[in-house]
Structures are given as C-alpha cells and as structure tokens.
C-alpha cells in the first residue's frame, strides 16, 4: 500500500504502518518462522504512536503518567501505635527479630477480628504496613511463626514480667492462639 511521503518518513526497520479509518499508526514488529505455514509470520509488538503531518504523536500512556494513590486504614492503627509504644518497645527488646511482627499481628487481630489466613490482606490495607514495612504475614509463614514464638516460654514469661509491678497481676487470654497451634499440629 502506498502512503504519503510524510507517513513513509517514519517507516524504519522493525516498524509497521497501519491505516485505520483514514489515520496512520506506527507499530513495532518482528517476524518468526512458522513451521506449520512454512513461512515467516509477522508479530506486532507495541504501539509506538499516531503519525500526523506534524510528526509522531506518542501514546497517551507514555505522555501523561498520573501519580498513584494508595488508601490505607489509619485511625485505629495510629491510636494503637500511640498508646502501645511501651508494649512495642518491650517486644523489640525481648523479641529483637520479631517484636514488630508480634505487635502488628496483635494490632490487626484487635482491629479487624480476622482469622490468621486473612492477616496479610488486612496488613497490606493498614497504616501498619507503612510503619513496619516488609513484614511477612502470609498464612503459611504465620503457622510456623506462631509455633516458634509459642514454644519460647522463657521469653513470653520475661515479656509478661515487664508489665507486673509489685503485687499486681496480669490476665492474658491465649485461647485463640492455643486453638490455632493445636489445629496446626493436627494438620501436620
């Protein structure tokens, strides 16, 4: 097909011009041998832009990049961060590698009342994922993680002792965690 000279100027090796509804478009192309047809077959790769007499107009996606916006739940997570700083600091001391993970799990369970299998989803949508980046909360990791933490009684007692002063007592309900650990052991 014959194209006007101003269109042919944009034709180079590895490109193809298409005329659609009276307008000219430039595409990146290559070819590959087709064994069944016993001939070379053209493969269109990407759209490079529209050809006008004024020149090549690049695709809009390349021209205007809009900033991405992320919305995360902030209120309750921020409040827990503020009122739970002492807990977080003690977790970081007693469990240096896992303190932030333990705090995040506890905060999400308190806010969302979700099962552990949905923990990762709630973490990704929470402000906590901005504060504590890169915490692994996928359900397969959590199973092993909770078993390891739960079996380290010395550190758990040491952590709890930090909150007992004088003659006071502390009440801790680990029912759901104990049930989860029992289920994990039954499955494996």
- The rounded distance, in Å, linking the Cα atoms of 54 and 73 is 49
Residue 69 lies in a domain: no
Nearest to 132 by CA among 106, 101, 105, 110: 101
Same domain, 39 and 127: no
Residue ending a domain, choose from 63, 92, 108? 63
Terminal Cα distance for the chain, rounded: 68
Structural domain span for residue 103: 75-187
Same domain, 126 and 85: yes
pLDDT tens string for the chain (188 positions)? 688 888 888 888 889 999 999 899 999 999 888 888 889 888 888 889 899 988 888 887 544 566 778 899 999 999 999 999 999 999 999 999 999 999 999 999 989 988 999 999 999 999 999 999 999 999 889 999 999 999 999 999 898 888 777 766 666 666 655 554 555 555 54
- Number of structural domains, the chain? 2
Q: For residues 70 and 125, what is the distance between their CA atoms, to the nearest angstrom?
A: 9
The token duo for 83 is 């009122």
Instruction: Kindly state whether residues 42 and 97 are assigned to the same domain.
Output: no
Rounded CA-CA distance 89/127 in Å is 19
Tens-place pLDDT, residues 49-76: 899 988 888 887 544 566 778 899 999 9
Cα 62 to Cα 15, 46, 57, 70, 143: the distances in Å are 18, 12, 10, 21, 44
Token pair 């997570």 is found at: 77
Is 70 inside any structural domain? no
How is residue 115 written in tokens? 């099962």
Whether residues 48 and 117 fall in one domain: no
The candidate with the shortest Cα–Cα distance to 170, out of 181, 158, 188, 179, is 158
- Give 132-146 pLDDT, tens digit per residue: 999 999 988 999 999
Output the CA torsion 136→137→142→145 (10° steps): 40
């Amino acid at each position: 097909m014959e194209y006007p000279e101003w269109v042919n100027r944009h034709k180079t090796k590895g490109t193809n011009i298409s005329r659609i509804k009276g307008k000219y478009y430039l595409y990146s192309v290559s070819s590959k041998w087709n064994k069944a047809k016993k001939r070379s077959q053209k493969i269109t790769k990407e759209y490079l832009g529209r050809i006008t007499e004024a020149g090549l107009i690049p695709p809009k996606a390349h021209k205007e990049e809009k900033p991405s916006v992320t919305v995360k739940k902030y209120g309750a997570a921020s409040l827990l961060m503020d009122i739970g700083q002492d807990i977080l600091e003690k977790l970081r001391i007693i469990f240096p590698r896992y303190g932030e993970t333990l705090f995040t799990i506890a905060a999400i369970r308190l806010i969302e009342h979700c099962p552990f299998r949905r923990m990762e989803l709630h973490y990704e949508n929470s402000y906590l994922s901005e504060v504590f980046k890169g915490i692994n909360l996928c359900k397969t990791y959590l199973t092993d993680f909770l078993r390891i933490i739960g079996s380290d009684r010395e550190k758990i007692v040491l952590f709890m002792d930090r909150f007992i002063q004088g003659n006071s007592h502390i009440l801790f309900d680990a029912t759901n965690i104990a049930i989860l650990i029992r289920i994990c052991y039954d499955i494996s």
